[in-house]
Homo-oligomer: A and B are copies of this chain.
Amino acid sequence: MRIVVDAMGGDHAPLAPVSAVCAFAAEHPRVSFTLVGSAAAIRGVRADLPANVEVLPAGSVIEAGEEPVQAVRRKQDSSLVLAAEMVADGRADIMVSAGNTGALVAAGLLVIGRMHGIDRPALAPVLPTFDGRGVLLLDAGATMDAKPQHLLQFAHMGAVYSQYVLGVKRPRVGLLNVGTEAGKGNQLTKATYDLLARSNLAFIGNLEARDLMQGTCDVVVCDGFVGNVVLKLVEGVGLGLFNVLRDALTTNLRAKCGAILLKPTLKPLFKRFDYSEYGGAPFLGVQGGCMKAHGSSNQRAWYAALAQSVRFVEQDLLRKMSAALSEAGAE
């Protein structure tokens, strides 16, 4: 098994990905790794790479603000495109990048290509839940205008990923909607409800956004526009509240003393909402492994994304998704 890692993507690159890959590689001697990026930058972080880590030099980097499709087309020598080519050629089983999400999606589609039986791909991050288990949300931004059959495919892919990579026995699938009753929603969700209800999935029905973080289901589907809004809103509200709280805890001496007393109680609480505990977001629906690590991934988050990548390959996820989709189509 070979994992190819974009050493140049993300806020803490190349330090975080290079350090994480080296530490992870030492613990997983039977897995091979390729770090793609500036050889000098990679050697700058670690001069002595483990025996199972090789370097593939890249001539450029796709930056965070670049227009995805153009960037992928123009920067053929970028770390991201070279990583995707390794997966497309079968030289690597899965790629991982913490860089530009849109560019990862574009590289997945243009370089690796769509999976047979999938009309539209989906990005599937794990959203934090109050019980700390998390919920797989798809699509989080790859397919803006989705049709009911796309959401059904998302549900099948998400259920397979949840079961075999995240270890959920029989993943409960929910449809993000504006009410819990059947018949609620817009044209898309009304039609999707019927498809999911007739499927072989453990469909629990509509899920309202207020219950999204309550841990009532394991996989939740929606179109990429709604999913992206949800993902960013949760990030925004979470970050905003914690900032406001942090400021409050240091306003004066009294508050500071209170904060010290509360630290052991609050710390595990904050941890439950820490993205680095939940790992990466697979880009599902392309003919190869493709994992997005959070843009601000630290070494811990990288570790989680690498572990999920190993499971993705070990579990032969592409084949299992394919099987689930053709079984569903044959019903």
Binding site for B on A (CB under 8 A): 130, 141, 144-145, 176, 178, 185-187, 189, 208-214, 223-226, 228-241, 243-245, 248-249, 251-252, 254-255, 257-262, 264-266, 269
Contact = CB atoms under 8 A, between A and B. Distances in A.
Question: Which residue, A178, A185, A187, A232, has most C-beta atoms of chain B within 10 A?
Answer: A178
6 contacts: A209-B230, A209-B231, A209-B233, A229-B229, A245-B269, A258-B260
A214 B208 CA distance: 24
Contact of A265 (B223, B239, B248): B248
Contact of A269 (B130, B187, B229, B244): B244
Contact of A261 (B144, B213, B223, B257): B257
Contact of A236 (B144, B209, B261): B209
Going nearest first, the 5 A-B pairs with the smallest beta carbon separation are: A258-B261, A210-B236, A258-B262, A209-B233, A144-B186
A214 B189 CA distance: 30
A249 B225 contact: no
Q: How many copies does the complex hold?
A: 2
Contacts of A261: 254-255, 257-258, 261
Contacts of A209: 228-233, 236
Contacts of A266: 248
A244 B243 CA distance: 17
B264 A254 contact: yes
A192 to B, nearest CB: 12
Contacts of A243: 130
Nearest to A144: B186
Contacts of A228: 178, 209
A261 B210 CA distance: 31
